[in-house]
Amino acid sequence: MRAYLPMLLLFLASGASPQHESEIRRPWNGCGSPELHNRAAPSLGPAHLLRFDCLPLPPTPFTSSPPIISPDGEQFLVHQYARGLFVGSLDNDAIAHIFPFDPTFVQFGGISFTGSTFLYQWASDSRFVWGAKQETGKGHFAAGPLTPVLLSPNGLEQSLPPLLARAGPLDGLIWIGGDGLALAKFGTNGSYYKPEHSDPDPMLAFVDFKRGKVLQRISLNNFPKAVSAFGHPMVPLTIATVRLPDGRPRAVLQWPSGFSLVWTHGSRPREITLPKLPFMTNIALAPGGRKLLISYPVQTVVAVCEDETPCPPPRIVTAKYAELVDIETGKTLWERTGTSNHFGSGLEPAISPNGRYALAGIPEQNGHTIGLISMSDGRVLQTVPSIWSSWTYDFTDNRHFYVSGGSFVASYEIGDR
């Protein structure tokens, strides 16, 4: 550990100093036409389209993450199955480096390659990427644990000290902010290894990879309600994390039964009262760690017809799509409803670092759009189009956010109000 820290400090110092974009350099960079740029224009409101980028990514028939943008708004990363991690610059429309990482556990859980459960995360100063690599075998089954690494856009790779637990191998990470804190799971994914192994004591832990230390751990066996529908201990799919103003990590977790916990570093997890969340519901914690933003899937109900009988038309659904809850009292602070005749699901909501704004999917008659929402009262201040079938969105700072999908990135700026 003593030899590791100077190497880490030297690695961190080798990156370029961060700089946020301050001007528009070709508003439809790499696209050759303003057509897509115009399609990404938002409705009337406080934000305007700053730039639209088309990235030089190779086409792939396999899964690919939407582009994830760095906090300085200048760089991107994309993971493609069987190819690896692409890191590049929006400024010069180029891929700087491809890391040949194709881990089995590229997601902490769930079925989406978007949101905070993605394995790769930009550092808060945009100089490097937190992530992991993993040995895989035939059929893309895991052949070893996740091995954490620090990656520089210029191709430098620094191995981080492996964290060991008696529960088993490191099977997943949720990065909490961009400074090396994470929620980790150990000994949970034995059936995805070849050869398979049992997981008799699955464990969650807060970890600090910058210091190479496990901060606190809990065994899921100690929580009888933390089980699957079949009664087996399981890591929940519904998770939100945040770094509190005092620097401690916090997590909110809910299991399929509706059993919910809040866990803050230095304290024992405690049960809280939350609405029982349907499958594919996504949540995010506000910066203070007390308010939980819930994004519900609102989608049309369709029939499955296997004969020649005409199928009935989809049933239009009107339902709640967003709700803000105080986790200490269980009280709903505000909620919003919408109507959809479109089949789809919501994404993990995003909240600006100052807690003033949120981004969440809004169901509409012609599909789904993204709403810029006031966190104080839930008002939809503005809508932004979704630009690809697999897309994501996030804030890069208090005034800038992006929407990305495929090889497209639309960047927006919120004006003074």
188 belongs to a structural domain: yes
Q: Across residues 276-303, what is the average pLDDT? A: 89
30 belongs to a structural domain: no
Give residue 290's pLDDT: 97
285 belongs to a structural domain: no
* Tokens read off for 86: 């692409």
CA angle 252, 255, 256 (to 5 degrees): 145
Q: How far is CA 334 from CA 202, 287, 405, in A?
A: 36, 18, 29
* Tokens read off for 328: 């200490």
132 belongs to a structural domain: yes
Give residue 249's pLDDT: 98
DSSP state of 82: T
**What percent of the chain has pLDDT above 70?**
84
Quote the pTM value: 0.89
336 belongs to a structural domain: no
DSSP state of 191: G
In the chain, how many domains are there?
1
67 belongs to a structural domain: no
Question: Residue 28 belongs to what H/E stretch?
Answer: strand 28-29
Q: Across residues 343-356, what is the average pLDDT? A: 84
253 belongs to a structural domain: no
Cα atoms in the 13 Å half-sphere on the side-chain side of 95: 15
| Structural domain for 187, as ranges | 103-243
Q: Across residues 376-395, what is the average pLDDT? A: 88
Question: What is the per-residue pLDDT across 171-227, written as a single tens digit (0 to 9) for each?
Answer: 999 999 999 999 999 999 999 999 999 999 999 999 999 999 999 999 999 999 999
Question: What is the per-residue pLDDT across 16-35, written as a single tens digit (0 to 9) for each?
Answer: 443 343 344 455 566 756 67
116 belongs to a structural domain: yes
Contact between residue 67 and residue 77 where contact means Cβ atoms under 8 Å apart: yes
CA 185 to chain centre: 16
